[in-house]
Amino acid sequence: MTPTATLEPETVFTPPALPIPTSAVTLTINGTPQTLQIAPWTTLLDALREYLDLTGTKKGCDHGQCGACTVLVNGKRINSCLTLAIMQEGAQITTIEGIAQTNTDAPNGLHPLQKAFIEHDAFQCGYCTPGQICSAVGLMNEGKAKSTADIRELMSGNICRCGAYTNIVDAIEDVMNQNPA
């Protein structure tokens, strides 16, 4: 939300001048439980980036419109800007920093998708890339994509402004062909 100063001051309520309330939140991220003391309205995305220095997860809109903040929660892809950190207690959260360790035969410490993204030049500026890769892992976990057109459709929640889409699809297909469902 962009704060736009209101035109009608009299309609705004006066907030209490109290210290900002915080809660203890324990998140299991890439297999490691970590406890944070944060405002309850802190998003999972901001918890990762601002409080845990896990900046691989990107903020591109903060509104669930771009997919840059995609992470895996219990193996399912979600927009981490659209969930509060406190809602994810007890869940297994996987970010780009932990994606390689989810794959047992990761070559050179990279997930096959990470390797394929490099090989196919499936990114340019790199900002949407962690979200694209987490989303592609989620897509493969879902097992619904049966064709190139399916991959395009099911990856359309992740905007790549550099326009690497064709290479992204090539990279994902490459990995899916290595591990047919």
Touching other proteins, residues 42-101 (CB under 8 A)? 42, 46, 49-50, 53-63, 65-66, 68, 95-97, 100
The residue within the footprint of other proteins, chosen from 91, 159, 173, 174 (CB under 8 A), is: 159
Complex with other proteins: residue 74 or 156, whichever CB lies closer: 156
166 binds other proteins (CB under 8 A): yes
51: tokens are 């409080």
| Sign of the CA dihedral with 117 first, then 156, 2, and 93 last | negative
Which residues in 126-155 contact other proteins (CB under 8 A)?
Answer: 126-130, 133, 151-153, 155
178 binds other proteins (CB under 8 A): no
Q: How far is CA 107 from CA 103, 116, 164, 175, in A?
A: 9, 11, 24, 13
Smallest gap from residue 81 Cβ to other proteins (A): 10
CA 109, 168, 163: angle at the middle one, nearest 5? 130
175 binds other proteins (CB under 8 A): no
Smallest gap from residue 148 Cβ to other proteins (A): 9
Cα 70 to Cα 155: distance, rounded to the nearest angstrom: 11
